[in-house]
Structure formats: C-alpha cells, structure tokens
C-alpha cells in the first residue's frame, strides 16, 4: 500500500469513516447504554457525558465520538476468527475507561467543552466530576464480568483483565508525564514519544491485543496485534497533534494554532524546539514563556515550524508507522476482507480531519 508523500498531505481529501466503525457502532452503543443503566444522579451525569441525554435527563442526539478503541477490539476479534459477541464486554470496558480518562483530563486541563457540550466539572463542579469519573472506571471493571457468559475461556479472561489493568495504569502514568511537561520550555523528543506511548498508545494497543486474545487461541497472533497496535497509537496521537496546530476550525472546532495558544508541548512544538536555531529558537522560547500567546506569536510559531518542515516530518513519521502496523500483521492469517479494512483504517488515521 502506498500513501501520499508529506508534501501531498494538504491535497488529499480526508477519507470517510471506515466501514468497521459503521458496522459496529450500534452494537457498541447498545452495550454501553446497558452498562450505564443504573439509577441515581451520578448515572445521569455519565449518560449526559456520553451524549445520550441533555442536562435535564431527556434523550437527545449528541456527539458520541468515533468509538475507536472498542471498534479496534471488535475488529481484531472478528479478523482472527472470533465472534463479535464474545469481545463486546471488553469493547465496552475499553470505551468506559477511555471516557473515565477524558472526564479527569477535562478537570486537569480546565477544558469547559468537549464534543461541543459543556464538560461535567464545568456544570456540576470538580468534586462531582471526579466521583463520576471514578464510577465510570469501576463500571468498566464490572463490564468484564460478562466475558465468561459470552463464552470466553477463563484463562483468556485472566489475560484480558491483566492487559486492560496494565494499559490503564500506563495511560495514567502517561497523563502524569504530560502534566509534568506543562510549563517546561523544552521537552526531549524521546521523552515526548514515551509519554504518548503511554497516555494515548497504551489503550489503543490494548484494544487490538485484547480483541486478538479473544478471537484466536494462538498467543503469537495476539503478540502481532500488540505490535501493530503500538504503531496505531503513534499514528493517532501524531495526527491529533498535527490537527491541534494546523487543523481546520470547521472540522476540529478549534482555530489554527490552538495548541500553540495553549502552550501545549505537542509533537510539532517539541520537534520545532529541537530543530530551530538562533533567532528562531529564541523566538519560540519567548512565545512559550508568555502567559498568553497572541495572534502574532501564533503566526511566528507557525512560520518557524514551516521553516524546519515540521508538518511534513510529522506526517512522514506517521506514514512509517502505518507501514509498520501493516507489516506486523503480514504473517497473520486474517478473515477475508480484514486486511483491506485494516488498510482503510490506517488511511483514515493518517488523513482524518477531526
């Protein structure tokens, strides 16, 4: 499979959402609703956060996200010969853990909106939002109880539980590293890559690995999906970072240079800091030393990033990981159409606009 070169990135139209997301979306949504069907006001908060109800608890059509992690889990299970129903409890747990992390991220980053809605802490305050997030994490654990009734062998269930627990521990460690980078003018590229491998990558590669663990009895298959999942996590985060700087406001909901205004140490910033020299380096450092960068600061930062080919380099590195993700599964026997679907997924992750 051949991808566009970095210089062609802007010319390629964003691919449509791959069929696997459409195929699994309704079933994932139904399983998540079942998991969060409990009574009590804390569940009302969680159903609001998931985009299912409004502030008064009335059903509404909200933005529920792409369900990336559960979709990867179900795809891996199906591609390796398993039944989707067997992996559904794990898929739901993955999405619940992901949203638990987002609730806490919103608090830590003081973000008042997500998916075009007010966040929990912005409406109900930090204490209630913290509790709601913790409840969501616990509900994720209980969702795994259904793996046995779904027909997953006990020894496989133990592996799944272990993988998921380790993954969200790494995810939390990654969040800690991300917070520790705030306010630092220079973060090493290797430090940044280690952070995203934990914060973003851990749950994505876990999704792929768990699906394969349930779908195939061969541990070598799960190991191949783990390696492929590592590459997928990198692609996802680097593309996120590209959109955080150069994304179209109509698609992302954020203005160009949004991450620069927030002084976020994302991949483009870390790379530009490492590559810039002389006046450009001093200018970048001065921008990130300000309390609130202005329009001129953003424009200068973008110019410096362009001068060291930051966007092209980030995209090229993501393409390399796309090839690595494919190569990791080259020797694995997959169901018919699965390899083509996987190629579509990588294309989407490389060129998505939101």
* DSSP symbols for 134-193: HHHHHHHHHHTTHHHHTT--HHHHHHHHHHHHHHHHHHHHHHHHHHHHTT-S---HHHHH
Domains assigned to the chain = 6-241+323-351 (1.10.600.10)
354 residues of the chain, pLDDT tens digit each: 555 544 444 446 678 899 999 999 999 999 999 999 998 899 999 999 999 999 988 998 767 788 999 999 999 999 999 999 999 999 999 999 999 999 999 999 888 988 888 999 999 999 999 999 999 999 999 999 999 999 999 999 999 999 999 999 999 999 999 999 987 877 899 999 999 999 999 999 999 999 999 999 999 999 999 999 999 999 999 999 999 999 887 666 677 888 899 898 999 999 999 999 999 999 999 999 999 999 999 999 999 999 999 999 999 999 999 999 999 999 999 999 999 999 999 999 999 998
CB-based contacts of 110: which residues, under 8 Å, 6+ apart?
Answer: none
Backbone φ and ψ for 114, nearest 5 degrees, come out as -150, 135
Cα first-last separation, the chain: 23
CB-based contacts of 330: which residues, under 8 Å, 6+ apart?
Answer: none
CA quadruple 238, 244, 246, 250: dihedral sign: positive
Instruction: Name the residue with tokens 């654990």.
Output: 141
Residue 211 near residue 190 (C-beta atoms within 8 A): no
Which pTM was predicted?
Answer: 0.93
Q: CA 144, CA 140: separation in Å to the nearest integer?
A: 7
Residue 208 near residue 72 (C-beta atoms within 8 A): yes
- Tokens standing for 313? 């380099």
- Tokens standing for 28? 């994932």
pLDDT at position 1 is 54
Q: CA 243, CA 237: separation in Å to the nearest integer?
A: 10
Residue 168 near residue 188 (C-beta atoms within 8 A): no
Q: Which of 260, 247, 235 is nearest to 316 (CA)?
A: 235
* DSSP symbols for 328-345: HTTTS---TTHHHHHHHH
């Amino acid at each position: 499979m051949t991808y566009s070169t970095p210089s062609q990135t802007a010319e390629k139209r964003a691919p449509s959402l791959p069929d696997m997301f459409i195929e699994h979306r309704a079933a994932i949504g139904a399983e998540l609703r079942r998991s969060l069907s409990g009574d009590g006001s804390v569940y009302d908060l969680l159903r609001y956060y998931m985009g299912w109800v409004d502030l008064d608890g009335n059903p509404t059509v909200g933005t529920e996200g792409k369900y990336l992690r559960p979709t990867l889990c179900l795809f891996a299970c199906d591609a390796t010969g398993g039944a989707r129903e067997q992996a559904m409890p794990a898929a739901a747990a993955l999405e619940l853990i992901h949203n638990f992390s987002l609730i806490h991220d919103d608090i830590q980053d003081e973000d008042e909106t997500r998916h075009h809605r007010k966040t929990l802490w912005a409406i109900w305050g930090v204490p209630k939002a913290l509790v709601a997030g913790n409840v969501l994490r616990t509900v994720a654990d209980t969702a795994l109880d259904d793996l046995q009734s779904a027909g997953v062998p006990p020894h496989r269930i133990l592996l799944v539980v272990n993988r998921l627990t380790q993954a969200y521990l790494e995810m939390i460690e990654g969040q800690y590293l991300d917070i520790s980078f705030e306010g630092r003018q220079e973060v090493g590229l290797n430090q940044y890559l280690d952070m995203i491998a934990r914060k973003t990558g851990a749950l994505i590669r876990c999704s792929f690995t768990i699906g394969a663990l349930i779908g195939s009895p061969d541990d070598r298959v799960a190991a191949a999906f783990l390696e492929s999942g590592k590459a997928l996590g990198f692609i996802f985060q680097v593309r996120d970072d590209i959109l955080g700087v150069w994304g179209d406001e109509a698609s992302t909901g954020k203005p160009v240079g949004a991450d620069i205004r927030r002084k976020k140490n994302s991949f483009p910033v870390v790379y530009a800091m490492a590559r810039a020299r002389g006046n450009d380096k001093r200018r970048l450092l001065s921008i990130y030393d300000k309390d609130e960068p202005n329009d001129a600061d953003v424009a200068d930062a973008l110019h410096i990033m362009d001068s060291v080919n930051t966007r092209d380099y980030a995209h090229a590195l993501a393409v390399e990981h796309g090839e690595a993700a494919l190569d990791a599964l080259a020797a694995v026997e997959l169901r018919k159409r699965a390899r083509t679907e996987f190629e579509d997924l990588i294309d989407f992750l490389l060129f998505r606009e939101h």
